[in-house]
Chain A
Amino acid sequence: MNQTARTHSDRWSFTRLVCATFTGLTVGSVVLMALLFAAQSVPVWRHAGPEYIVGGDWFYRQELFGAASMIYGTVVVAAIAVAIATPLGLGAAIGTAELLPARARLWVKGAIELLAGIPSVVYGLLGVLFLRGWVDDALRSAGYEPIGGDTLFTAGLLLAVMVLPTIVTLADDALRAVPGSQRAAARGLGMTRAETVLSVCVPQAGRGIFAAVLLALGRALGETIAVFLVVGRQDGQWPAHLLSFERLFEPGQTLSSKLGGAETNIAYGDPLHWGAMVGLGLLLFCLVTFASFVSGWLQKRGGQVA
């Protein structure tokens, strides 16, 4: 339907009004959500100031609200997930897009969609009943004395499995969008299949692959239920140095696991404490929205190039 097919006027018919109203409600709900989050978190910004973001201590009875250790937990858990899932997912996408015959590719993609459809609470259950024990055993045999299998690393590992389908499907789409003639030309120049894939297909699909990774990152940042069940939910886990690994194998807390916990119910009714909880939501909202907008923008650009 291109522009010239349109003969309609700007008259506001009933149908148009209804459509516009529902569009308005859709957009309005998200705008309302952002505004409410901003408005209701005002008390904590007034109370704690910048300390709310950089402070590592959270004791609500003492009215100490510092979200830094939760931001750290969120970022670290998502980073572990993406760091594990990206090479695996990209490898599998190269497999499905470049190596598998078309029919088999459909089957594999169907199976991967199944994997993506498993609810996060089921992933969480698997994490509780298996992964937690495995991580505990592995840490013990590596000479650590863990408090238990619930660690930031466990959550990251579980999330890696959860975001893997996102990376595989989208990276596969990006690779398939590279025109076949390019592959044929590369092969015609005498390049091997590996050289074609690595120096023609992957670079051309680079934007799309990066968008896939960012989308997975956004999912990982916001995932709540599965992380909640295996992360340990220990406040105040701030590392001695930003790059030290000591906290990874200890229980931690993420923005989302804090919000999913009982403290949300406790905080309700106390404007300051509630503001602090909603403020965590606002921080999470900003982190995730940034990741998904950049991803959406890259996908659009990637689509135009291909």
Chain B
Amino acid sequence: MRRAIDRTLTIAGWSCVLFVGFVLVLLLGAIVVRGLPAIDWAFLTQPQRAGGAEGGIIDNVIGTTILIATAAVVVTPLAVGTAITHGYYLRSSKAKARLELFLVGMSGIPSILLGIFGMIVFVGLLGWGKSWLAGGVLLALVMLPTVAVAMIERIGALPKAQVEAAVGLGMDDSQVVRSVILPQSFGALITGLLLGLARVAGETAPILFTATVFAGASFPTAIRESPVMSLPYHVFVLAQDSLDPAMRDRVWGAATVLLILVLALSAVALPLRLRIHDESVHG
């Protein structure tokens, strides 16, 4: 009886692992097998024509690049400031715990709510139309907890002898922050940014109302009333009228490009993250 239970658990555990692996292969396979044939040089470099049925996705790639680059620029000071406040300036562990809990809560905010928030702030209060900058700021808020937490973990794992040595050399707070904490946690900032960007590159909901259009935009030349096209919104719109077979190939192509972009960003972050983990264990 005990043996039977033991064997059952082993079999059950293994089958769950295999099932999850099977789902992964199935999902990635289903997309890539259909998407890769649709991708060629023209698809990547031409603007879209005929409502997505012809032409390529270059404007969508440009738009998504602009959105995530803006998000990275906007999120960096916010996340670094928050992480250093948490790691160096906040003294009571209660205040630190509160800030951590806040970041957990913030990372759980559904991204559609940021889309609505953006509409209230950028369209309602500021009177902008659709704007790449609004989209960048909203995406920055989506990825902020990821970046901040990556830095907080790294700062928390810094050997305290380094800070003590810096203080012993007569450095004041600002010098310690600028010459010890910041350089030492720079790698974590990059990792956090890459992971965050991997997440927001595929986000549709925050930019739905305030930043992105399906057609008729290219490189923005202003801030107000200057939307961009984007990969996720492109897939989102085409998925809703995907009955047309010609459209279907192209939506798989766009989805594959999006997937490759997202997975590349997180794959670049993986070794960096492992190394940081290593240092924090052995350092």
Q: Which residues of A contact B (CB under 8 A)?
A: 1-3, 5-9, 11, 13-16, 18-23, 25-27, 29-30, 32-33, 36-37, 40, 88-92, 94-96, 98-100, 108, 110-115, 117-126, 128-130, 161, 164, 168, 192-195, 197-198, 215, 218-219, 221-225, 229, 256, 259-260, 264-265, 268, 277-278, 281, 284-285, 288-289, 291-293, 295-297, 299-300
Q: How large is the interface on B (under 10, 10 to 19, 20 to 34, 35 or more residues)?
A: 35 or more
Does A92 lie within 8 Å of B17, measured CB to CB? Answer: yes
Q: Is the interface of A mostly helix, strand, loop or mixed?
A: helix
Q: Which residues from chain A contact B94 at a C-beta distance below 8 Å?
A: none
A26 near B263 (CB under 8 angstroms)? Answer: no
Taking the nearest CB of chain B, how far is it from the CB of A256, in angstroms? Answer: 5
**Interface-facing stretch out of B39-47, B54-62, B203-211:** B203-211
Once bound together, how far apart are the Cα atoms of A96 and B17, in whole Å? Answer: 7
Tell me the bound Cα distance from A146 to B126 in angstroms. Answer: 46
A-B contact count (CB 8 A): 288
Are the CB atoms of A215 and B242 closer together than 8 Å?
A: no
B9 touches A296 (CB 8 A): no
A99 and B156 in contact (CB under 8 A), knowing A121-B239, A289-B108? no
Q: How far is the CB of A147 from chain B (nearest CB, A)?
A: 16
B108 touches A13 (CB 8 A): no
Q: Which residue of B lies closest to A284 (CB)?
A: B110
A40 to B8, CA, bound (A): 55
CA gap between A5 and B152 in the complex, in Å: 18
Instruction: Select from chain A the residue with minimum beta-carbon distance to B209.
Output: A264
Q: How far is the CA of A294 from the CA of B67 in the complex (A)?
A: 33
User: Which residue in A13, A32, A218 is a CB contact (below 8 Å) of B172?
Assistant: A13
Q: Is B89 an interface position by the 8 A CB rule?
A: yes
Give the chain A neighbours of B112 by CB distance below 8 A: 222, 224, 256, 259-260, 281, 284
Q: Once bound together, how far apart are the Cα atoms of A284 and B114, in whole Å?
A: 12
Q: Is the interface of B mostly helix, strand, loop or mixed?
A: helix
Does A128 lie within 8 Å of B239, measured CB to CB? yes
**Are A229 and B12 CB-contacts (below 8 A) given A16-B174, A121-B202, A259-B112?**
no
Return B242 CB to nearest CB of chain A, in Å.
6
Q: Which residue of A lies closest to B148 (CB)?
A: A26
Most chain B beta-carbon contacts within 10 A, residue among A168, A224, A277: A224
Contact in complex: B13, A5 (CB < 8 Å): no
Q: Given A128-B242, A193-B6 in contact, is the A112-B177 Cβ separation under 8 Å?
A: no
| Chain A CB within 8 A of B119 CB | yes
B160 part of interface (Cβ distance < 8 Å): yes
Cβ–Cβ < 8 Å partners of B242 in chain A: 125, 128-129
Q: Which of A30, A91, A124, A193 contacts B109 (CB 8 A)?
A: A30
Whether the pair B258, A122 counts as a contact (CB closer than 8 A) is yes
Report the minimum CB–CB distance from B159 to chain A (whole Å).
Answer: 9
Q: Which residue of A lies closest to B25 (CB)?
A: A111
Q: Which residue of B lies closest to A18 (CB)?
A: B81
Q: Are B202 and A91 in contact, CB atoms less than 8 angstroms apart?
A: no
How many Å from the CB of B148 to the closest CB on chain A?
Answer: 7
In-complex Cβ contact of A292 among B80, B104, B172, B236 (8 A): B104
B270 interface residue per 8 A CB criterion: yes
Q: How far is the CA of A110 from the CA of B242 in the complex (A)?
A: 32
Closest to A257 in B: B112
